[in-house]
Homo-oligomer: A and B are copies of this chain.
Amino acid sequence: MPVREMIKTHPAEINLDRERLADAVLALVDCAQACTACADACLSEENVAELRKCVRTNLDCADICEATARVLSRHTGYDANITRAQLQACVQACSSCSEECGRHAAMHEHCRVCAERCRTCEQMCHNLLDAIT
Contacts and interface: CB of A to CB of B under 8 A. Distances in A.
Interface of A: 1-3, 5-7, 9-12, 25, 29-30, 33-34, 36-41, 43-46, 48-49, 52-57, 59-60, 62-64, 66-67, 69-71, 73-77, 79, 81-82, 85-86, 88-89, 91-93, 96, 100, 108-110, 113-114, 117
Contacts of A73: 33, 36-37, 40
A81 B74 CA distance: 27
Contact of A85 (B40, B70, B88, B114): B88
Given A33-B6, A69-B33, A113-B5, A43 B76 contact: yes
Contacts of A46: 11
State how many copies of this chain the complex holds: 4
Contacts of A89: 82, 85-86, 88-89
Prevailing SS type, chain A contact patch: helix
